[in-house]
Chains A and B, each alone.
Chain A
Amino acid sequence: MIFLLMVAGYLFGALAALLFARGWVARWLTAAGAIIGGACAVTLAVAEVFGFDIGSFQIIVVLARRPWWLQGGVIQDPAQPLSAVFLGVVGAIAIPAALYSIGYTRAWEGRRSLRMPGAMLNLFLLSMSLVPLAENILWFVLFWEGMAVTSYLLVMTEAEEPETVHAGNWYLGMTQFGLGFILAAFFLLLPPDGSGDFTALAKHAATLSPGLKSLVFVLALIGFGSKAGLVPLHVWLPSAHPAAPSHVSALMSGVMIKLGVYGVLLFGLRLLGGGPAWWGGLVLTLGAVSALLGVLYALMEHDLKRLLAYHSIENIGIIFIGVGAGMMFLSYDLPALAVLGFVGGLYHTINHACFKGLLFLGAGSVLHATHTRNMEEMGGLIKRMPRTALFFLVGAAAISALPPLNGFVSEWVVFQALLGGASIPQREVAVLMPIAVAMLALASGLAAACFVKAFGITFLGIARSHEAEQAREAPVSMQVAMAALALACVVLGAAAYAMVPALGRVVAGLAGLPPASAVTVSWSLRVPLSAPGAVGQISPLPILLGLALLLVAIPIGLWLSRASRALRVSDTWGCGRIAQTPRMQYTAAAFAEPLRRIFAALYRPTEDVSIDFHPESRYFVQSIAYRAHIIPWFERYLYDPVIDRVIAWAARVRAIQSGSLHAYLTYLVAALVIMLGLLMLWGS
């Protein structure tokens, strides 16, 4: 019932966008459809993952469990908790994104029709909700492609900009590239009777040779990895996410790339049922490399949304570190640690969706107010847009893994999984774990540095441009959306007691992992996070309460000790200079400069300084322009040669299209003759 309501909600939203196309009716109805759909998705997911403790939803849960429409295993009865987690992520981010779009699309009034973006938004959400539920190759690929096409159309919303077109082309190319590999992986798993049902595939996979299984896994990893944004298949992410409207970026970055994670889990755990250790090692290595490279490239960005897109690559890396560690432990028959690894990966999936969604919505608010994504033109926005700044700060603190927020708790779980790696019997393999620990720690430290830069240059200091001076606070709908996600970040961190056991139950029963016993969620204050297999214990809720208590106690202590309360406002201290201009502040490029020099081997930075002298004398300078570039390694050394080669071959193949009708008729006859010959050979 809820499922049908969810589908109906999204379709209603799409229909409303197509019918009305303009005005506040269109905006509200489109968003309402998406919100209804999202709410249903979340309800389904929460009911499935947590079991039936939620008393008042009992009826809804019972209705949802009744099998409906199970024609040939098209859509599953959401009895697969793993799918429910991803469904919940879609719904949870759909609600704030849709709410946000009400205020955001108001700026499009008169310039752009809501028809395409609104309809595509709802269809995008619908297809993303259905991908985890599909139980059949056909429907999976159908919804997957639906997701790709609708998101492409959404990315191309602002197609009048050339960089949007460029981003869209890359995006489409990479999705089709990934699809090819996914299809290959699926077809290799097809049982002889041709049934595409996932349970049949899993049964058939058990009979395959290890070499074939490994091939399938690698193909799936490449295909789903390109969707998730694993290095080196990440190049579409930094251009596609900034090009899309902000609520779409939030959805793409927070939700869509997680479906790549779902795909890898689907193949690795459900269909192939676990494999040799090198699968997990490969995933772990790719994850660690993505985490580090993602954050290193993010540091050098001064486009706010590109920075966030690179951070998505980093966090996908962290998720895959957890998943890879889980797979390795699975192959070494260490079930408790395997569950811990997967729980870390899944928890970080949920958390990343929350705080990345929040950050993209915040960046969108800033873009909405200042009409620029360039950090170097912002500044002082904390005074003009105080609430947006506060929510962005919560998101920045969460992504930098600062306790007691959710980012820290999920990274802690991943750390604990890696620390358990000492139990792996093979020393040479176990040494991979400390390397991963070091890379994860470096990535999270650099992420903190990057977000000090992002928040500090954008919101703090003095406005660096006229638009920044005139910026106004975001509309209420946008603020509410951001507030909801900020609250979710805090709650998900404190509610780790409930999340970790629930996620443990989700992975239990997959790929030979022992089924977990019934979990009771206790809300006692002192209860530490019980993560069986972890080598440490923390209690996130007391940390949150303790910090809050101290923050209140210190001013009280100052007041009680009768410390001076005098305060005077004056100029910024600048060694007594006469006046201060915004250009005397630190810039984003300057902030990242020490790291640019330290990691120069990776970046190979080049600098370009051009000085305009006064026409009368070389002693007076009119202006200095400084440009710094870094080499985009993957684009230049991996993709460009391949693309050039492909274009060269395509040019040669184009010779077939001579334009002559006679040549085409000859091709037809030749193809017919060859086919008949082959059929005769096979027949005999």
Chain B
Amino acid sequence: MGLLSKIFRTGIVTEAFPPGDPQIVHLVREVDLRSRRLFGRALGIREVDAGSCNGCEIEISGLMGPVYDSERFGFHFVASPRHADLLLVTGPVTRNMEVPLRKTYEATPSPKLVVAVGDCAHTCGVFKGSYAVAGSVDQIIPVDVFVDGCPPEPADILRGILTALGRAPQAS
């Protein structure tokens, strides 16, 4: 019972969601209206680590926690790309992860979206030009939104996903 009383004392800790810095999120192409309507309220996200240092992963893992609570927007992380609507890709795509990333993209049923998280995913970041890197994410699979940062804050990642869905809160 100590657990239950602690739960009740803590209360809801989810934070309100501010508009944020518009420079961080880049919308590459406008997602079509049908997909936006379809995924607007229920989105399955599959996270793909294409060779990242795991900094972005730690930030993404905060999304499911009580503070950022991505579930309130209707997002849930799924166990298989077959269940996914959106691929959340991190890391510069290393040579070993190039084929798996393509296969993951192929395994996802359409319509699908791709959000690339972090500087590495956008421009290969500090690993640019390395012998182990095959290229940035948009050179492997088509990307809809880039979220810059090393690593970006969870709020920015959320904003990136919402931008892809056309639901990003606008700065007043």
Contact = CB atoms under 8 A, between A and B. Distances in A.
Interface string A553-580: 0000000000000101011010111100
B145 to A, nearest CB: 22
B103 A576 contact: yes
A568 B109 contact: yes
> Chain A interface residue count: which class?
under 10
B100 A576 contact: yes
A570 B99 CA distance: 14
B153 to A, nearest CB: 28
B104 to A, nearest CB: 5
A576 B93 CA distance: 14
B107 A578 contact: no
B39 to A, nearest CB: 14
A567 to B, nearest CB: 9
Interface string A144-160: 00000000000000000
Nearest to A570: B106
A652 B82 CA distance: 73
Interface in B67-112: 80-82, 97, 99-101, 103-104, 106-107, 109-110
Contacts of B103: 571, 576-577
A163 B103 CA distance: 48
A571 B100 contact: no
A566, A568, A576, A578 — most chain B CB neighbours (10 Å): A576
Nearest to B81: A573
Contacts of A577: 100, 103
Contacts of B110: 566, 568
Nearest to B83: A573
B80, B97, B106 — most chain A CB neighbours (10 Å): B106
A232 B103 CA distance: 55
Contacts of B81: 573
A254 to B, nearest CB: 42
B18 to A, nearest CB: 36
Contacts of B97: 576
A575 B82 contact: no
Given A568-B109, A570-B106, A576 B80 contact: no
Nearest to B48: A576
Interface string B39-81: 0000000000000000000000000000000000000000011
A307 B166 CA distance: 58
Contacts of B80: 573
Nearest to A573: B107
A575 B81 CA distance: 9
Contact of A578 (B99, B101, B104): B99
A566 B111 CA distance: 11
Contacts of B107: 570-571, 573, 576
A156 B36 CA distance: 71
B101 A576 contact: yes
B87 to A, nearest CB: 12
B99 A571 contact: no
B158 to A, nearest CB: 26
Contacts of A566: 110
A276 B118 CA distance: 82
A569 to B, nearest CB: 11
A494 B106 CA distance: 46
Nearest to B50: A576
A573 B106 CA distance: 10
B103 to A, nearest CB: 5
Interface in A213-270: none
B98 to A, nearest CB: 10
Given A570-B106, A573-B82, A576-B97, 13 more contacts: A566-B110, A568-B109, A571-B103, A571-B107, A573-B107, A575-B100, A576-B99, A576-B103, A576-B107, A577-B100, A577-B103, A578-B99, A578-B100
Interface of A: 566, 568, 570-571, 573, 575-578
5 contacts: A566-B110, A570-B106, A573-B81, A576-B97, A576-B99
